[in-house]
Amino acid sequence: MKKKHLKLKKKAWFILSLIIFIPIAIISFIKIKQDYEYKKTYEYRFLEQDYTKEEYNLLAKYFDDNKLEDLLNKDKDTLLLDFLKNDKFIIDNLDRYLNFYNKYRVGVDEVILNVNLNLDYDWYDEISEVDTSKDILMLVNKYNILPEDYEPDDLVSISVKYAWGSGNTIRKEAYEAFVKMWDDAYDKGIYLIINLGYRSYQEQEAVYNRLLNARNRKYADSISARPGHSEHQTGLALDIFEKSNSNTETFKDSEAYAWLKDNAYKYGFILRYTKENEGITGFNAEDWHYRYVGIKAAKEITEQNLTFEEYYFYNVK
Ligand SMILES: [Zn+2]
């Protein structure tokens, strides 16, 4: 009886250990298999190659297996990672970033800015049509052309009180902003005067062709925008001088220039072409050319010292 009891006890122990052992064996087996599978993954292989998990995730986000294999065959590509980590990075531009970097050896931020703004192309290369749906924030420059028949539908005449001669027009919203600005400048003893507002494609074409015929393309390009590439066709650009000084050479020394530089943004205008941003705008400095973009954008552009190209690319597009 005692023996039987002992036998039973032994059996119970045996069953109990099986109950404990089998799941452990199964779990261990699964674990080993998972480890084995994991070691075959790109994640594991990249971590082994000194990439961090975040870096691997970035690579996996942008690249297919072929490219990942390529990268694993090389040392850790820190330059590539610097591009991927930049918040302005655009995958479609990657080859252009690398070409630009190899050519100019400038920092990643500068490479990305230049390429994102198309500055790796020659002026008037790779032209797209202006997105006029952006309305007062539309971008017209050497890479963005307005159609021949584009004409704003809310042009209003500029009073001769504010402009040299009659016949100048401008979009209504810009005109209202200008009149407010004019009043405030006038209170400070400054008489602002507009030299040019809206200009049609055909008029721009005539101006450009005159310069072209007088000399050559290089000369014409240095002075005038090609037809479709002038901001004046938007009806949002104004050439603003002072009544007593409308001289392009000396306007920069005038009181009006200084006042506009400090105050124009409060009314929604920005000085569009400055000496320091010639490399981005593609136009020589024009101390008198103001563009209406609305108060919010003008404030941000002025406070952050941006070109309109940068602002457009990162905030509007
Ligand atoms: Zn102008």
Q: List pLDDT tens digits, range 207-228.
A: 999 999 999 999 999 999 999 9
- pLDDT for the residue numbered 33: 87
Q: Quick check: 22 pLDDT over 60? A: yes
Do 192 and 271 fall within a single domain?
Answer: yes
Q: For residue 288, is it within any domain?
A: yes
CA of 300 to the centre of ligand 1 (A): 22
Which CATH number belongs to the domain containing residue 205 in this structure?
A: 3.30.1380.10
Query: Domain range for residue 83?
Result: 78-116
- Residues around ion ligand 1, judged by CB within 5 A, are 239, 289
Catalytic residue among 43, 203, 255, 286: 286
Q: Of 60, 89, 116, at which residue does a domain stop?
A: 116
Do 106 and 177 fall within a single domain?
Answer: no
The average pLDDT across 165-178 equals 97
- pLDDT for the residue numbered 11: 83
Do 239 and 308 fall within a single domain?
Answer: yes
H helix runs in the chain, sequence order: 2-39, 42-48, 53-62, 65-72, 78-85, 94-104, 108-116, 172-187, 201-214, 217-223, 255-263, 278-281, 295-303, 308-311
- Write down the mean pLDDT value for the chain: 95
- pLDDT for the residue numbered 12: 82
Do 89 and 157 fall within a single domain?
Answer: no
The average pLDDT across 86-90 equals 96
The average pLDDT across 241-258 equals 95
Q: For residue 44, is it within any domain?
A: no
The average pLDDT across 76-97 equals 97
Do 278 and 184 fall within a single domain?
Answer: yes
Q: For residue 94, is it within any domain?
A: yes
Q: For residue 222, is it within any domain?
A: yes
Q: Which residues contact 58 (CB under 8 A, 6 or more apart)?
A: 81, 84, 85
Token pair in block for residue 18:
């099986």
- pLDDT for the residue numbered 20: 85
Do 259 and 144 fall within a single domain?
Answer: yes
CA of 120 to the centre of ligand 1 (A): 25
Q: For residue 154, is it within any domain?
A: yes
Residue with tokens 């072209």: 212
Q: Quick check: 162 pLDDT over 70? A: yes
- Is 231 tagged catalytic? no
- pLDDT for the residue numbered 47: 96
CA of 173 to the centre of ligand 1 (A): 18
C-alpha to C-alpha distance for 230 and 49, rounded to whole angstroms: 52
Q: What is the pLDDT of residues 189-213, one digit of tens each?
A: 999 999 999 999 999 999 999 999 9
Do 144 and 214 fall within a single domain?
Answer: yes
CA of 199 to the centre of ligand 1 (A): 10
Do 133 and 105 fall within a single domain?
Answer: no
Residue with tokens 């390529």: 70
Do 304 and 272 fall within a single domain?
Answer: yes
Do 104 and 139 fall within a single domain?
Answer: no
**pTM summary value:** 0.84
Do 312 and 252 fall within a single domain?
Answer: yes
Do 264 and 286 fall within a single domain?
Answer: yes
Q: For residue 2, is it within any domain?
A: no
CA of 125 to the centre of ligand 1 (A): 22
Number of domains in the chain: 2
- pLDDT for the residue numbered 3: 65
CA of 288 to the centre of ligand 1 (A): 7
Q: For residue 177, is it within any domain?
A: yes
Specify burial of residue 196 (Cβ count, 10 A radius: 0-12, 13-18, 19+): buried
